[in-house]
A and B are shown apart, each in its own frame.
Chain A
């Protein structure tokens, strides 16, 4: 049997920000290991940021997981001799308990990441086998359906939904109970229940996660919805790019049919409901209800004007309810534990919990579910672990390409549908992209516009042409060719696209531009007037220069420059020709003396 592998992890903070650290810790450690004949037995790793900036340089010795902080050259020798060779941890170098708590945690559920989460939609995710219907039943699966079918009338179901205060989790935030009520009121023998699984926001994967991890909860909720509105057929519209989700859904549907939880006479109650899957071809716009309906009908995925709303005239002209995956996953617990329980979570106007996909410059990327009303700061810093590499927080983008950026001063805003809209952003499907000080907000706006203009279906002119015109102006600004008039044009154009576009995609497409213009106007002005990108992101506005004092004339930069923009005699300072420079940054990367600066 193998003995537990020793590993030394050194994090010296050099890649982060400060140059307070001694890069030689790694070298010294390597030398010390060799000297003591340990080099072959011990793996030495130089790690990137561990977010323990105030303790760096840090040396961690595994498997014990002992963390040495503020390690100096002389400490290295001690760690190797006393700990690695003699086997006794160097107590004097370990930070006291109250300063640095280091521990091994066996079960993932106990880490701080989960501490402040409340899991309703994600309650079963990662807990049960998604391919085993019995395990779903064992966690009270299909109990809510049984309760609804045997003890409640459709009207009571709708009342309960309305009482719960659940609002659509896919973007718009429309109260789910009201949606059901509209459809239920329609006098039509054929109605449809659709699950919208066309998750398309860049970086959002909450629906995917639910479909892959807990497909039965979606089936159960759709059946409850079908009973409430008087529908006997459901469709799950899911992206073809989610093969695992599709496979699990298919399996789940088959299992539910075998158990008679789908089909005629469900649970012997006489209620009939079945579900089929329809695959989307990956168009962002098909997340919009009417475009989704067109797509299911086999037509080009393009939206129709509303009204008529799908609840009145939807799939094949029949009353149709479309609910998002996360919305549906939240429904069974409402019927098991009651609307009062659900509405006790969250805030006055936003009930329950919301799943967010944390991404960008944040330590704990991943999916989190928190009660509505949790502040952005709690999500980003307490649960998300803050910004890596000790950088400063700059903005958080919520709502994906339809949302906007929110700044530091609003971090204590409780997360609710309405508060986010007030800040010029929106809940959206729950994407949260965190940006640090190195992010250029003009470039961020450009990125999102580039996405929406690609995803515009092309039907309505404001979105089809307007988004391109917006993007063109943004590109002009990031190239350093913008004028102050362009900033006005951006604002006017954005406002017009918002009011004139046919569907939500176009109506929200300018949000990233408008919100960054609002909060980061100075940054736009810097690009336009000073021809400067404060974050150093926009390549055309970044200039590389060699510090003649620091340059040792080694010639490495000149050798590596792909366009021969660097000249200079060996052993004398080199020079970059700004006209030839393509801003690739290679010179700065290869310089051993930090002599290449950007401005």
Chain B
């Protein structure tokens, strides 16, 4: 039994576990103290001063104030209200007044704060900061003039990702969030994961949009515009239309995509199955030879860039398999083009991804065949929602549609790629059966599921051989494991890494959940639950059992890791030299 602390909030007696903050304690008695810089589990710098409460003669930030016995806290005095109001007015006085043009309008924490605190007049106006937009990165755009310096992006980049591509620069009014030496994010250690976007309370960070390019392509009669959607998109897109977190909207999404004017709607699950075939075979080869172990997954572009920049010596351990949507793009522009008798140059492949890292990945020159990019545009889940809104489609009431052949069918193994542990589980489902030569009884490897940062598993094959697997999400965790491997303190055969905590379901391109909601529900758990429900409902749950996969190997690729497969489905990596904030 944990030690309890009893104290008073607004005349009510509150009893909470020792170590609880006043902010959390207040919540337990129905008082939602307004916050801005605070984000549960990510950041509590107490810099914004919105969550001030009266503690004795002083006003203190409740987000960092730990409850102590007999404290007398007042959250609702004139002094508190007027201080909070002034603080938000200050922030507004230095915030770009472009609410009607901002992608975060309606989902902006500053906007709701201003409304909630009844700010209807600006008492203090003056100079605003003027800083040029940083839109050089293929993934992210930073608008300092909207930034409220809450520090959440800095915290997530440093603590969750151990990347520290950004930090606070300059002092006082001139303070900005930026990369070392004032360079663009594109020239920093940024691995393009976009977790900073997910924590930004305002519109200071967003993806670099490609909506207009895609509209142009759709409007071009010359082009065959093909769209594919990643597994994680279907369990989050509904949130943009007011549906509960964790709602599965696969069929509605397909219908909407068709209404937007895409010529073909494919499922990236197919590419995921292909990845399992290629990567799984690679794993078997390495397990047999015992060389270049552990094999590390390569489907997360943020993780790949992290290895290239921070652990270049471990590049040989990365699987050479392209990521699923890149594989699918390459197949669309070869196999599919031939089958449909279309010039691959006229095919435009658009990937709907839960990710902004994919925008960076899309333009890597390694991911092209004969000067033609495998994928032409990457849109985030948010961008797709915006396009649907642009057309006035009533998404919630849409009928369920079906993906198109021949890449419309994926296995349950492909779907679970969207959650941390999914790739490992999918790979093990296939690799076990190939190596063991027998069908699995239970195919659900629960040991690699869930939200623990580092999950370890040993799978014993019938011949007694063991596959030692580690599943990691969040790059700070990955850094720990990589340091162990470098020092030879840990040995694994197979490692799955997803840069974003929770995996793709919580990727940098997903719907942004405001801090208020995040403090109440675990968004990642709800979305992951939906992903695993998709898996269960799939008729086929192992990649190598997918008949469309079998067909493409029969008709086109020959066998996994064949020469053709290597040409189209595999890639290589480059060590990167970068500066770092740390």
Q: Mark B138-151, 1 if CB is under 8 A from A, else 0.
A: 00000000001101
Contacts of B171 in A (CB 8 A): 283, 454-458
B172 interface neighbour in A467, A500, A501, Cβ under 8 Å = A467
Interface residues of A in 488-530 (CB under 8 A from B): 489, 492-493, 496, 499-502
Q: Does B528 contact A (CB under 8 A)?
A: no
Given contacts A453-B172, A460-B48, contact A499 B61 (CB under 8 A): no
Q: Does B173 contact A (CB under 8 A)?
A: yes
Q: Does A531 contact B (CB under 8 A)?
A: no
**Contact yes or no, B47 A502, CB < 8 A:** yes
A474–B398 CA distance with the chains assembled, in angstroms:
60
Q: Mark B43-56, 1 if CB is under 8 A from A, else 0.
A: 00111110010000
The number of A-B residue pairs with CB atoms under 8 Å apart is 106
A501–B48 CA distance with the chains assembled, in angstroms:
9
**Contact yes or no, B91 A453, CB < 8 A:** no
Given contacts A469-B90, A493-B124, contact A305 B173 (CB under 8 A): no
Contacts of B124 in A (CB 8 A): 466, 469, 489, 493
Given contacts A453-B172, A457-B172, A468-B126, contact A500 B52 (CB under 8 A): yes
The interface size bin for chain A is 20 to 34
A467–B124 CA distance with the chains assembled, in angstroms:
11
A307–B66 CA distance with the chains assembled, in angstroms:
8
Q: Mark A335-362, 1 if CB is under 8 A from B, else 0.
A: 0000000000000000000000000000
Q: Does A430 contact B (CB under 8 A)?
A: no
Given contacts A307-B65, A458-B175, contact A468 B127 (CB under 8 A): yes
**Contact yes or no, B170 A499, CB < 8 A:** no
In the assembled complex, the CB of B86 is this many whole angstroms from the nearest CB of chain A, namely 4
Contacts of A465 in B (CB 8 A): 90-91, 93-94, 173
The residue in A304, A464, A467, A489 that gathers the most chain B C-beta atoms within 10 A of its C-beta is: A464
A500 interface neighbour in B66, B83, B127, B149, Cβ under 8 Å = B83
Q: Does B82 contact A (CB under 8 A)?
A: yes
Q: Mark A298-320, 1 if CB is under 8 A from B, else 0.
A: 00101011011000000000000
Q: Mark B150-182, 1 if CB is under 8 A from A, else 0.
A: 010000000000000001101111110000000
Give B57's nearest chain A residue, CB to CB.
A499
**Contact yes or no, A502 B172, CB < 8 A:** no
In the assembled complex, the CB of A490 is this many whole angstroms from the nearest CB of chain B, namely 11
**Contact yes or no, A462 B61, CB < 8 A:** no
Q: Does B123 contact A (CB under 8 A)?
A: yes
A462 interface neighbour in B64, B86, B167, Cβ under 8 Å = B86
B173 interface neighbour in A459, A468, A500, Cβ under 8 Å = A468
A459 interface neighbour in B45, B82, B83, Cβ under 8 Å = B45
**Contact yes or no, B123 A454, CB < 8 A:** no
Give B168's nearest chain A residue, CB to CB.
A300
B64 interface neighbour in A305, A453, A468, A501, Cβ under 8 Å = A305
Interface residues of A in 418-466 (CB under 8 A from B): 453-466
A283–B64 CA distance with the chains assembled, in angstroms:
25
A535–B575 CA distance with the chains assembled, in angstroms:
66
Q: Does A545 contact B (CB under 8 A)?
A: no
Give B174's nearest chain A residue, CB to CB.
A458
In the assembled complex, the CB of A571 is this many whole angstroms from the nearest CB of chain B, namely 50
Q: Does A116 contact B (CB under 8 A)?
A: no
Q: Does B60 contact A (CB under 8 A)?
A: yes
In the assembled complex, the CB of B436 is this many whole angstroms from the nearest CB of chain A, namely 50
**Contact yes or no, B168 A305, CB < 8 A:** no
The residue in A305, A466, A500 that gathers the most chain B C-beta atoms within 10 A of its C-beta is: A500
Q: Does A472 contact B (CB under 8 A)?
A: yes
Contacts of B90 in A (CB 8 A): 461-462, 464-466, 469
Q: Does B59 contact A (CB under 8 A)?
A: yes
Q: Mark A270-301, 1 if CB is under 8 A from B, else 0.
A: 00000000000001000000000000000010
In the assembled complex, the CB of B582 is this many whole angstroms from the nearest CB of chain A, namely 9
Contacts of A464 in B (CB 8 A): 90, 149, 172-173, 175
Q: Mark A464-486, 1 if CB is under 8 A from B, else 0.
A: 11111100100000000000000
A8–B499 CA distance with the chains assembled, in angstroms:
82
Contacts of A456 in B (CB 8 A): 171-173
Q: Name A's interface SS.
A: helix
Q: Does B545 contact A (CB under 8 A)?
A: no
A458–B174 CA distance with the chains assembled, in angstroms:
8
Give B170's nearest chain A residue, CB to CB.
A458
In the assembled complex, the CB of A465 is this many whole angstroms from the nearest CB of chain B, namely 4
In the assembled complex, the CB of B337 is this many whole angstroms from the nearest CB of chain A, namely 53
The residue in A489, A501, A502 that gathers the most chain B C-beta atoms within 10 A of its C-beta is: A502
A462–B65 CA distance with the chains assembled, in angstroms:
19
Contacts of A502 in B (CB 8 A): 46-47, 49, 61
Contacts of B399 in A (CB 8 A): none
Contacts of A455 in B (CB 8 A): 171-172
Given contacts A459-B47, A462-B87, contact A496 B82 (CB under 8 A): yes
Interface residues of B in 167-200 (CB under 8 A from A): 167-168, 170-175
**Contact yes or no, B48 A496, CB < 8 A:** no
**Contact yes or no, B93 A469, CB < 8 A:** yes
A40–B174 CA distance with the chains assembled, in angstroms:
59
Q: Does B27 contact A (CB under 8 A)?
A: no
A493–B87 CA distance with the chains assembled, in angstroms:
10
**Contact yes or no, A300 B79, CB < 8 A:** no
Contacts of B127 in A (CB 8 A): 468, 472
In the assembled complex, the CB of B580 is this many whole angstroms from the nearest CB of chain A, namely 14
Give B123's nearest chain A residue, CB to CB.
A489
The residue in A308, A465, A496 that gathers the most chain B C-beta atoms within 10 A of its C-beta is: A465
**Contact yes or no, B123 A305, CB < 8 A:** no
Give A306's nearest chain B residue, CB to CB.
B60
Give A496's nearest chain B residue, CB to CB.
B86
Contacts of B61 in A (CB 8 A): 305, 502
A460 interface neighbour in B49, B65, B167, Cβ under 8 Å = B49
Given contacts A465-B173, A469-B90, contact A458 B46 (CB under 8 A): no
Give B154's nearest chain A residue, CB to CB.
A300
A465–B124 CA distance with the chains assembled, in angstroms:
10
**Contact yes or no, A496 B83, CB < 8 A:** yes
Contacts of A469 in B (CB 8 A): 90, 93, 124, 126
B86 interface neighbour in A283, A453, A500, Cβ under 8 Å = A500
Give A457's nearest chain B residue, CB to CB.
B171
Q: Mark B81-102, 1 if CB is under 8 A from A, else 0.
A: 0110011001101100000000
A492–B86 CA distance with the chains assembled, in angstroms:
10
B91 interface neighbour in A304, A461, A493, Cβ under 8 Å = A461
A330–B198 CA distance with the chains assembled, in angstroms:
53
In the assembled complex, the CB of A280 is this many whole angstroms from the nearest CB of chain B, namely 14
Give B52's nearest chain A residue, CB to CB.
A500
B47 interface neighbour in A283, A460, A466, Cβ under 8 Å = A460
Contacts of A283 in B (CB 8 A): 171
Contacts of A462 in B (CB 8 A): 49, 86-87, 90
A172–B83 CA distance with the chains assembled, in angstroms:
24
**Contact yes or no, B59 A499, CB < 8 A:** yes
Q: Mark A43-80, 1 if CB is under 8 A from B, else 0.
A: 00000000000000000000000000000000000000
Given contacts A307-B65, A468-B127, A502-B61, contact A461 B149 (CB under 8 A): yes
* Apart from A493-B86, A500-B49: 7 A-B pairs, beta carbons within 8 A: A460-B46, A465-B93, A465-B94, A465-B173, A467-B172, A468-B173, A501-B49
Q: Which 10 A-B pairs have the closest CB atoms?
A: A458-B175, A456-B172, A465-B90, A305-B46, A496-B86, A472-B126, A459-B47, A500-B83, A469-B124, A305-B64
24 contacts between A and B (CB under 8 A): A304-B46, A456-B173, A457-B172, A459-B149, A459-B151, A459-B168, A460-B47, A461-B47, A461-B87, A462-B49, A464-B173, A464-B175, A465-B93, A467-B173, A468-B172, A469-B90, A492-B123, A496-B82, A496-B86, A499-B79, A499-B83, A500-B87, A501-B49, A502-B47
Interface residues of B (CB under 8 A from A): 45-49, 52, 58-61, 64-66, 79, 82-83, 86-87, 90-91, 93-94, 123-124, 126-127, 148-149, 151, 167-168, 170-175
Interface residues of A (CB under 8 A from B): 283, 300, 302, 304-305, 307-308, 453-469, 472, 489, 492-493, 496, 499-502
